[in-house]
Amino acid sequence: MKKAFYILILIVFGSCQNDKSKLPENKSNKSIIDEKDFTQFFMEVDSLLNLDNGEFWRKDIYGPIMFIDPKTRVFYSNENNIAKSFKQINSIYTDSLPTDINIANTAIDWDDKKWSMVMLPLPAEKNSRNNLIIHELFHQIQPIIGFENLQEQNNGHLDTYENRLLLKLELEALEKALNSTDSIPKLKHIQNALTFRTKRNKSQEIKNAENSLELNEGLAEYTAIMLSGRNAKELKLHLSKSKNDFYSNPTFVRSFAYQTIPFYGYLLSLKYPNWHKKVDRNINLTSLFINLFEISIDKNQSIEKITEQNNYNYQQIKKEEKKREKLRILKIEELKTRFIDEPTLELNFQNMSISFDPSNITPLENFGTIYPNLRVTDNWGILTVQNGALLAPDWSKVIVTIPTQITNKIIKGNGWKLELNPKWKVQKKGNGFKLEKEE
C-alpha cells in the first residue's frame, strides 16, 4: 500500500559515534567549535575536491555546506541563501535554523537550496573532518548520479548472535586482505569475507536489506575516505582503526555499511580504480564484488573450517557475542513490557520529518524498532524523545510510554515531550492514548 505521508529522515550522528556512526575515529579526537576556523575548513574541502575536478563520480561534489550548533541552532555556511538574507562574516555566512527543521549530519532542501548539514563540534583531525564533510556532500549529489529514491530496509537481523558473528568475521577477513602483501592470500581473505557475507545473506530479503544501506551510506563513506586526502598508508590505518572502533558500537544495524563498503571498495580500487562508476541504484553490491574479484563461493564450507585455517579471532568473537546475546534477550523482554504490554501513546505520521541517533537502536521482533533518542516534526507538532520510543516497521507511527502530564500545549511522559500544534489533542483510547485532530 502506498503511504499517504511524506518521510524525511535525518540521521543524527552526534552523540555516540560520529558514525558518529559516520566517523568512528572522532571518538578520540579533540573537538572544534570556533567560527574563525570555519573559512579554513571550507577551503580545505574545496581544495581536495578541486583536485578531483568532478572525476570520481563525473560530477562536482562541492556545494552549499552549513556547520550547525545543535544547541543554539546557529549555523555557519560557505554560501548565502538565494534571498541573500544571511549575515556575512568575511567570506562565510551565518544565521539560525528554524525550529521546525531537525538537525543532523545529512543533506536537506531548505531556503531554495540543497545543503549539506554537518553538526558541530567538528573533528579536530584534518582527515577525519574532511571525511565527515565529504560524506555529507556526497548525499547532496546522490540523487543526481543515479541513486534517487533509495529506500532503506530493515537490517534488524544484524542485532542477533549469528549475524553479528558473521559480520565481524567478514571484517576480520577484509582486514587480513588489506594487510596482505601477496596477491594470493589477499584474494583468499576476500573470498572468505564474501563467504561469510553469503552465509549471512541467507535470504533475498536480507541481501536486499543490507544492499539498501550499503548503496546509501556505504558508497557515501567510500567516496569520503577516497577523497579525504589520506595517502595509501593512512587509508589502511584508518580502515583498521574504524573497524576496531565499530566493534564497540552497541548495535551494528545501521552502521555496518560504513565499514563494509570502504573495505571492499578500497581493495577493489587497487584492481579497478573506477569500479564505483559501474554502480547504480539497481545493482547488488555483493554480486558485483564476487564478479569483479573473480572468485567463487562454496556455500557448503563451514565457518569452523575457514577459521581453522585463518586467524580471524573466531573464539574471542564467539565468546563476546554469546555474552551479548544473553543481555539482548533480557533487554527485549523489558522493552516489550514497556511498549507492547503496558499502556502507551500512539502518534500516527502524516507529514513526518525525523532525526535520530542510530548508535543504540534495538529491533523489537516484528513490532518495530526502539530508538533511544529521536526528534519528530509532523502536522501535530514536535516530539522529542530521550528515553526510547517504538517506531513501527512500516514507519507509519511512533509509540511512546503512557503520558504523565497532559495540557493543551504540552504532553509529557517518561523521557519524552510532545509540543502540540493548535487543534490537536491527546485522547484516551481503550487501554492507551492516541493523538487526534479536533474537527
- Is there a single domain that holds both residue 188 and residue 298? yes
Do 139 and 165 belong together in one domain?
no
The residue-averaged pLDDT of 159-178 equals 98
In a domain, 323, yes or no: no
- Of the candidates 146, 189, 191, 208, the one whose C-alpha atom is nearest the C-alpha of residue 291 is 191
Final residue of a structural domain among 123, 145, 167? 145
Residue 237: closest CA among 189, 192, 179, 187: 179
The structural domain count of the chain equals 3
Statement to judge: residues 170 and 216 lie in one domain: yes
Do the strands 344-348 and 432-437 form a parallel or antiparallel pair, or are they unpaired? Answer: parallel
Assess whether 179 and 285 both reside in one domain: yes
**Is 422 in a helix, a strand, or coil?**
coil
Q: What is the mean pLDDT of residues 382-401?
A: 96
Query: Is the same domain home to 139 and 283?
Result: no
| Domain interval for residue 335 | 330-437
Q: What is the pLDDT of residue 307?
A: 95
- The residues with which 378 forms a beta bridge, in sequence order, are 381
Q: Which domain-ending residue is among 145, 174, 197?
A: 145
Asked whether residue 113 falls in the same domain as residue 223, the answer is no
Q: Kindly state whether residues 176 and 113 are assigned to the same domain.
A: no
- Residue 4 included in any domain: no
**Of 146, 255, 177, 147, the residue nearest 210 (C-alpha):** 255
- Cell (9 digits) for 60: 562536482
Based on the fold, state whether residues 121 and 172 are members of the same structural domain.
no
Q: How confident is the model at residue 18 (pLDDT cuts 50, 70, 90)?
A: very low
Asked if the structure places residue 318 within a domain, the reply is: no
Query: In the prediction, which pLDDT does 2 show?
Result: 36
pTM for this predicted structure: 0.91
Q: Which tens digits make up the pLDDT trace of 196-232?
A: 999 999 999 999 999 999 999 999 999 999 999 999 9
State the pLDDT at residue 20.
Answer: 34
206 and 140, same domain (yes or no): no
**In-domain check, residue 258:** yes
What is the per-residue pLDDT across 87-139, written as a single tens digit (0 to 9) for each? 999 999 999 999 999 999 999 999 889 999 999 999 999 999 999 999 999 99
Q: With contact defined as beta carbons under 8 Å apart, do 62 and 46 qualify?
A: yes
Render 297-319 in DSSP notation, one character per residue.
--TT--HHHHHHSS---HHHHHH
Question: Is 43 within a domain?
Answer: yes
Residues 357, 287 share a domain: no
Q: What is the CA radius of gyration of the chain?
A: 22
Last residue of a domain, one of 116, 145, 174: 145
User: So what's the pLDDT on residue 9?
Assistant: 58
Establish if 317 belongs to a structural domain: no
Q: Looking at 13-17, 102-106, 348-352, 359-363, which range is the least confident one? A: 13-17
Same domain for 173 and 288, yes or no, is yes
